[in-house]
Amino acid sequence: MRALITGINGFVGGYLAEHLLASGGWELCGLARQAAGGLPQLNDIQRVVADLSDLDQTVAALERAQPDVIFHLAAQSNVPRSFENPAATLTTNIIAQLHLFQAVLRLRQNPLLLIVGSNEMYGHVEPEELPLTEETPLRPVNPYAVSKASQDLLAYQYHASHQLRTIRLRPFNHIGPRQSEQFVVSSFAAQIARIEAGTQAAVIRVGNLAAERDFTDVRDMVAAYALAAQQGQVPLAYNIGSGRSVAIRWLLDTLLAFSTCDIAVEPDPARMRPADVPRVVSDSRRFREHTGWLPQIALEQTLLDVLEYWRGEFKVKN
């Protein structure tokens, strides 16, 4: 199988490429806006440089890649940034996918298209609606979520109107080493590592700690994406998550327990979202029934791995 991974230089793209290479049976092509970046061990993968906001570049990229499967990961994925620049988030995420579909049609290709969305598209949910199924109404409460809901709907529309073979993935929160500090677990872990290295005062600044989310290790998540390509059914939507909800406070307390430093915690208004959802938890039964997928890595292990990654970045000696 020949796979094209858009956003190959991103956090999830690198892990997906590593997983597919380790699995065997995959020939990989990675698409990004810049040739540089990504993981050194992925240098042997065929690289295609293209900006998906440009239709002609997108057509040229797909003509070169000739994929059997497209894992569409490229996106602006940071919620706070989507509030700061909603127009760029909407344009980047929606137009890029539209051009991908148009390029497939223009070239008369017939790849399987795995469209990676987000649980953020469910937005405002009532307690009685939990856990969230694929039939839960979409009520997005931030611009990023609106863009992901639009991508999901666009994928269904292009299947219905043009018979594109689309599968819509709705992953819940996924974390792991190498994730940007713009995301909550990496933010906590990086701050702890800086404190341990003596380059930051012994204070962690935090946003809303009461929110509860459904977290999965990124390494388990990309294994799910690979299974979706092999066993998922067109044109279904699939929730992918652990089915367990934990408070952000628990994540922080667990990370602090791994540290030998005495660290204070202070709220930071700049880290608060204009709109937030109190609790989110997935119902992933459809995906598990179709693929047999189950997460394998304990959340505590993931948190320790993230902290060790940042300790390595800041040369912390244990």
Q: What is the CATH number of the domain that holds 12?
A: 3.40.50.720
Percent pLDDT > 70 in the chain is: 97
For residues 194 and 83, membership in a common domain is answered with no
Tell me the per-residue pLDDT of 111-128, one tens digit each, with 9 for 90 and over.
999 999 999 999 999 999
58 occurs within a structural domain: yes
pLDDT given at position 270: 79
CB-CB neighbours of 224 under 10 Å = 24
**Contacts (Cβ under 8 Å, ≥6 apart) of 28:** 2, 3, 5, 17, 20, 21, 45, 46
158 and 307 fall within a common domain: no
Contacts of 301 (CB under 8 A, 6+ apart): 217
Name the 3-class secondary structure at 24.
coil
Q: Which among 53, 45, 50, 48 has a CA at the least distance from the CA of 65?
A: 48
- pLDDT for 301 equals 98
- 3-state secondary structure (DSSP) of residue 267: strand
Side chain identity, residue 301: Q
Residues 164, 253, single domain; the answer is: no
Residues 122 and 268 in one domain: no
Query: If we measure between CA atoms, which residue out of 202, 200, 295, 189 comes closest to residue 240?
Result: 295
For residues 189-197, average pLDDT: 96
Q: What is the DSSP string of 181-212?
A: TTSHHHHHHHHHHHHHHTSS-SEEEES-SS-E
Q: Domain range for residue 87? A: 2-175+216-240
* 299-313 vs 248-257: helix crossing angle, rounded to 10: 60
Q: Residue 66 is which amino acid?
A: Q
Structural domain includes residue 15:
yes
How confident is the model over 230-267, as pLDDT tens digits? Answer: 999 999 999 999 999 999 999 999 999 999 899 999 98
Number of domains in the chain: 2
pLDDT above 90 for 272: no
Whether residue 32 sits in one domain with residue 71: yes
Q: Name 54's Cβ contacts closer than 8 Å, sequence gap at least 6.
A: 99
For residues 221 and 208, state if they share a domain: no
- Other beta carbons within 10 angstroms of residue 311's beta carbon come to 21
| 122 shares its domain with 192 | no
Q: What is the CA radius of gyration of the chain?
A: 19
Q: Which of 11, 275, 256 is CA-nearest to residue 143?
A: 275
Residue 50's pLDDT band (cuts 50, 70, 90): very high
User: Domain for residue 235, yes or no?
Assistant: yes
141 and 90 housed in the same domain? yes
289 is a domain residue: no
Per-residue confidence (pLDDT) for residue 144, from 0 to 100: 97
Whether residue 75 contacts residue 97, with contact meaning beta carbons closer than 8 Å, is answered with no
Q: State the CB neighbour count (10 A cutoff) for residue 200.
A: 17
Average pLDDT of the chain, as a whole number? 95
Q: Note the pLDDT of residue 40.
A: 67
Residues 143-152: pLDDT tens digits? Answer: 999 999 999 9
| Residue 130 and residue 274 share a domain | no
- 318 has a pLDDT exceeding 70: no
**Residue 54: which pLDDT band, with cuts at 50, 70 and 90?**
very high
> Do 38 and 155 belong to one domain?
yes
Residue 197 domain-assigned? Answer: yes
pLDDT, tens digit (0-9, with 9 covering 90-100), for 200-230: 999 999 989 999 999 999 999 999 999 999 9
HEC profile for 64-111? HHCCCEEEECCCCCCHHHHHHCHHHHHHHHHHHHHHHHHHHHHHCCCC
pLDDT of residue 315: 84
For residue 263, what is the domain's CATH number? 3.90.25.10
| Within-domain flag for 30 | yes
Same domain for 153 and 196, yes or no, is no
Same domain, 135 and 201: no
**Residue 85, in any domain of the structure:** yes
Tokens of 310: 């940042």
Q: Is residue 286 situated within a structural domain? A: no
Angle at 213 (CA atoms; ends 212, 215), nearest 5 degrees: 140
pLDDT at residue number 275: 66
Please answer whether residues 214 and 248 qualify as being in contact, where contact means their C-beta atoms are separated by less than 8 angstroms: no
